[in-house]
Amino acid sequence: MSTNFLKLNADKTEVMVIGFRAQLVKFNLPSVTVAGVDVPVQTNPVRNLGVMFDSGMTMSAQVTTIIRSANYHLNNISRARKMLTTEAAKLAVHTLVTSRLDYCNSLLIGVNKSLITKLQNVQRTSARIIVKRKKYDSITSELIALHWLPIQQRIKFKVLLLVYKAHHKQSPSYISDLLQLQAPRRQLRSYISSPHFIVPRTRAVSFADRSFSCYGPKEWNTLPNHIKDAQTIHIFKKLLKCYLFQEVYCN
């Protein structure tokens, strides 16, 4: 911050300690001194760039915030559904609901399955409103018709897109530096066109395995070569979505 001539405003600064539950129990520092001002350590979730973070990185606060906001807009869309065409309803859902489900969803890697289920229920409710189905009607065929990826696959899509951008130097260096190409024992053609990344070994499943540097390479290495070899980001996104879609609905 000194290099960039920036000054930290202690009055607008929040401090949070993130770690394992056993570590947090041992931590008893009530405040941290910032620029001569004592800033209390937060125990409640804090917002950063529109995302709610909690000390255990469970992301439950973020999911709760997404669901609350999405349900508010879905209620309004539902009231106006009789006056909307199907295309207008799709646009409203995409603008007000889907955008919230997708915002920074790569942070939801490896979260509790119950949180993913709650977000999936929001997506299902959105589809029911668009196609005018009742609350407990099956909606799988409509999700296929809408060509919507489930929440879990949308998260995977976002992470793999970041890996593709990082590999092709289309992302900031602090993201690209997290990936390390796997050097082959022999120079093979397959390596030149379809590179693999090293998956770092971890010991903390709840934290380390959820990191981009671990999850990203692991999922990338499982992709078919024709997707990894995509020449443009547009082609990659198209092939990846079709692959994930078939993985869910065609297997």
* Percentage of the chain modeled with pLDDT above 70: 94
Q: What is the pLDDT of residue 2?
A: 77
Residues β-bridged to residue 15:
41
Q: What is the three-class DSSP state of 33?
A: strand
Strands 46-48 and 51-53: antiparallel
Dump pLDDT digits (tens) for 229-245.
999 999 999 999 999 99
pTM: 0.87
CA–CA separation, 8 and 36 (whole Å): 11
Q: What angle do CA 10, 11, 14 make, to 5 degrees?
A: 75
Looking at residues 46-62, what average pLDDT do you find? 92
Dump pLDDT digits (tens) for 6-18.
887 877 888 898 8
The ranges assigned to domains in the chain are 10-43, 58-148, 154-184+194-249
